[in-house]
């Protein structure tokens, strides 16, 4: 939605790794098991992916979804941006309760081809699970098993939660209530991006 609305390229390490896995690359195979179990892929791998992506696509602004997730990742991002002489305009902390996360995980469908995601409660897709953009098949993500949620929450508390203090210190953190519907969250994110965009 952000790419369509603002023309800013968005990436997430999860999407890159799922594509690598589907292509059967060594990296994809190496990380598939970690993703399946709900763990975090090593900082070294994630940082390399992001560096490559920035080199290819990061020239005119970018959005990372689900990166950085750890302090070492955040510190590497700082030095990458320093090298690129680019400032970090905005960090959004999307806060959602465990119940919200649980409900979303059980109801999420994703296009195997282009990564479009939607909810299985959306009537349009319930009967005919076909992507509206590329006609790819919409399927439940493998790593969306509720059984891995506890591992993810544990990883979040120990490795991601400290980023809140880190980014508060550099004063670019905006908190958004993620327990609302997609449109409400999107319009708040849009407002934050618009405030940062040079007029």
Q: What is the DSSP string of 61-82?
A: --EESS---SHHHHHHHHHHHH
# chain residues binding Zn ion, by CB under 5 A: 8
- Distance of closest approach, residue 50 Cβ to Zn ion, in angstroms: 23
User: What does DSSP say about strands 108-111 and 138-139: parallel, antiparallel, or unpaired?
Assistant: antiparallel
- Regarding 111 and contact with Zn ion (CB under 5 A), the answer is yes
Q: Among 116, 125, 166, 186, which residue interacts with Zn ion (rule: CB under 5 A)?
A: 116
- Regarding 114 and contact with Zn ion (CB under 5 A), the answer is yes
- Regarding 166 and contact with Zn ion (CB under 5 A), the answer is no
Q: Greatest CA span in the chain, whole angstroms?
A: 49
- Regarding 125 and contact with Zn ion (CB under 5 A), the answer is no
Cα atoms in the 13 Å half-sphere on the side-chain side of 67: 29
Residue whose tokens read 């920035």: 54
- Regarding 134 and contact with Zn ion (CB under 5 A), the answer is yes
- Regarding 109 and contact with Zn ion (CB under 5 A), the answer is no
Q: Among 131, 185, 189, 193, which residue interacts with Zn ion (rule: CB under 5 A)?
A: 131
- Regarding 56 and contact with Zn ion (CB under 5 A), the answer is no
Output 9 or 61, the one with its CB closest to Zn ion. Answer: 9
Cα atoms in the 13 Å half-sphere on the side-chain side of 25: 10
């Amino acid at each position: 939605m952000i790419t369509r609305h603002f023309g800013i390229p968005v990436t997430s390490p999860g999407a890159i790794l799922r594509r690598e896995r589907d292509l059967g690359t060594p990296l994809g195979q190496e990380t598939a098991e970690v993703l399946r179990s709900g763990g975090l892929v090593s900082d070294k791998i994630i940082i390399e992916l992001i560096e490559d992506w920035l080199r290819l696509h990061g020239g005119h602004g970018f959005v990372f979804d689900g990166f950085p997730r750890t302090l070492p990742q955040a510190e590497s991002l700082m030095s990458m941006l320093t090298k690129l002489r680019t400032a970090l305009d905005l960090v959004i902390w999307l806060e959602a309760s465990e119940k919200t996360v649980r409900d979303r995980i059980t109801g999420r469908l994703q296009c195997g081809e282009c990564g479009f995601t939607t909810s299985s409660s959306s009537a349009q897709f319930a009967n005919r699970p076909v992507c509206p953009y590329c006609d790819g098949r919409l399927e439940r993500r493998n790593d969306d098993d509720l059984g891995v949620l506890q591992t993810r929450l544990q990883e979040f508390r120990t490795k991601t939660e400290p980023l809140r203090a880190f980014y508060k210190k550099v004063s670019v953190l905006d908190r958004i209530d993620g327990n609302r519907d997609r449109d409400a969250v999107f319009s708040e994110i849009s407002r934050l991006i618009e405030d940062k965009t040079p007029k």
